[in-house]
Homo-oligomer: A and B are copies of this chain.
Amino acid sequence: MPFLSADEWTAVALSLQVSLWATAASLPFGILVALVLARGDFPGKQILNGLVHLPLILPPVVTGYILLVTFGRRGPVGAFLEEQLGIVLAFRWTGAALAAAIMAFPLMVRAIRLAIEAVDPKLEQAAGTLGASRVLVFATVTLPLILPGIIAGAVLAFAKAMGEFGATITFVSNIPGQTQTLPTAIYAFLQVPGGEASALRLVLISVAVAMTALIVSEGVARLVARRIRGT
């Protein structure tokens, strides 16, 4: 393939893999945290809210560094995960997914939270009177109603994950074939004089992938919204 080198293809595939996993794996947590923030009322709520927004506020390098000292092999959580569960994040694509997920988390949570806040609690009450417990009300009423918000959150997260660079490279470095994602490759090209053309190629790929995801998701979201509205 003349357009992209083998390494570059790997980077494309890896970026997709990382972004999809980052989105998919963080979605349940995103929904949970959004639910807690939208509906909960407990002392530490503002702290949780702040924590969720932190990756947005901090320079990505700092987030990456914090991840490194926490989830690295020497980090308290990283060591635990490795010893107890055999999960290694450092220098692996899994770590890249973690970094992308964390960076995208505030976006995902905010979208889902807004959707939850727009659900009419009267419908949930009605479901309650019909015998559904809180969990079942959530599963049968809230969740379907916030689906467009969940899709929006997932798309934002996916797009962000596709573009995430600073935290990822700080946390898992750039190992071709393992942690080299598109943004890292693009960054590398931009560091050397004359690398712009190569960078542009990768940018185009990245944009194409993300745009496809975007358009598909818009279509799905529209369909879902129409089904909900029932028209």
Stretch at the interface among A2-10, A22-30, A78-86, A210-218: A210-218
A186 contacts B54, C-beta separation under 8 Å:
no
In whole angstroms, what is the CA distance A103 to B156 when docked? Answer: 13
Given A59-B187, A190-B61, are A215 and B46 neighbors across the interface (CB < 8 Å)? yes
In the complex the two chains form, is B53's CB within 8 Å of A186's CB?
Answer: no
Closest CB in chain B relative to A164 CB, distance in Å: 8
When all copies of this chain in the complex are counted, the total is 2
Closest to A54 in B: B207
Interface stretch, picked from A87-95, A108-116, A125-133, is A108-116
Dominant SS among interface residues on chain A: helix
Within the complex, the shortest CB–CB distance from A108 to chain B, in Å, comes to 10
A207 and B159: CB pair below 8 A?
no
Which listed residue (B57, B106, B199) contacts A207, Cβ 8 A?
B57
Q: A152 near B: Cβ within 8 Å?
A: yes
A228 to chain B, nearest CB (A): 11
- Is A138 an interface residue when CB atoms closer than 8 A count as contact? no
Residues of B close to A173: CB separation below 8 A: none
Are B210 and A61 within 8 A (Cβ)?
Answer: no
**A110-B114 Cα distance, complex, nearest whole Å:** 10
Q: How far is the CB of A64 from chain B (nearest CB, A)?
A: 10
A186–B64 Cα distance when bound, in Å, is 13
Say if the beta carbon of A107 comes within 8 Å of chain B.
Answer: yes
**Bound: A89/B60 CA distance, A:** 24
Would you call A162 and B199 a contact (CB within 8 A)?
no
Q: Are A50 and B190 in contact (CB under 8 A)?
A: no
Residues in chain B near residue A156, CB distance under 8 A: 53, 56, 106-107, 110
Contacts of A65 in B (CB 8 A): 190
Do A60 and B107 have beta carbons less than 8 Å apart?
A: no
Q: Give the shortest distance, in Å, between A41 (CB) and chain B (any CB).
A: 10
Mark A residues whose CB is within 8 Å of B: 46, 49-50, 53-62, 65, 106-107, 110-111, 113-115, 117-118, 148-149, 152, 156, 159-160, 162-163, 165-166, 182-183, 186-187, 190, 199, 203, 206-207, 210-211, 214-215, 218, 225
